[in-house]
Amino acid sequence: MSGTSLPYDYVDSELHERRERVFFVLAGVFVGAMTLLNVLGVSRFLDMSFEVGGVQVPFALAVGVLPYPVTFLCTDFISEFYGRARANFVVWVGLGLNLFVLGFLWLGGVLPPAVELGPNGLPSPEAYDFAFFKIRQLTTGAVVASMVAYLAAQLCDVHLFHFWKRLTKGRHLWLRNNGSTLVSQMVDSFAVITITHFWANGIPIDSAAPVWPQLWVFIFSGYVFKLTVALLDTIPFYLGTAWLTKYLRHDPVAAAAAAHAESAAAGN
């Protein structure tokens, strides 16, 4: 069709399909990362301790935390280009996905053949399905903890993102990207570690030592990792926003300024 002007309805439908395709990719990456982090969960903790000035700094990171920052980047893109309602919708879909995973883990454990479980809720380590029940035990605790923490953190992220967007009239992209994510990830880090420990007993701590100093190591290790990634993802967020503004033919800054002007005019 080179050199031929396209009918308006064709161009409009093509643009609509493009926008929906990008939304589908962002939502897909989001729910995929959520599934991965819940299955991995607290199945392994990475010892990334380091030394500063001769002082050993403990740094223990749950392997399930690794894909987590991707979820916040996705919701920030969705919030920026598709609005708060769609961002919240994806958050609720992610919650439903957690329940979906939990349901199949439960189903896989109750279907025959019957398995004799020990006092620790697991079969003998020599049993061929020991790995499944170990994964189910860890994942169930992690999913319940992450459902509460994730819902609070993601809804906090979306709310703060749009709070900063309204306050700055659509300007200062870095502020709403980092300001929303950094606060919400502290909420998540605290909630997921404390719930996993006190409800699921899934955090490897020394029972002979005080509990809270150990829990704070896990909480701050996860948070510092998320904080670092959140600051670094400002660059891909800016680049991605610039590219999507052209690709989707939608300027979110201009749209936010227009919405603010319209709201102010209506208020007068």
Going residue by residue through the chain, which has 268 residues, state the pLDDT in tens, using 9 for 90 and above: 444 443 445 458 888 899 999 999 999 999 998 888 877 777 788 898 988 888 888 899 888 888 877 887 898 899 889 988 898 899 888 888 878 888 888 898 889 888 888 887 788 888 888 888 888 877 777 677 777 776 777 677 777 777 767 777 767 666 666 667 677 778 878 888 888 888 767 788 888 899 999 999 999 998 888 888 877 888 898 899 999 999 998 888 777 667 666 666 766 5
From residue 52, alpha-carbon distances to 55, 56, 57 in Å are 5, 7, 7
pLDDT at 259: 67
From residue 239, alpha-carbon distances to 87, 128, 206, 245 in Å are 20, 48, 45, 10
pLDDT at 263: 64
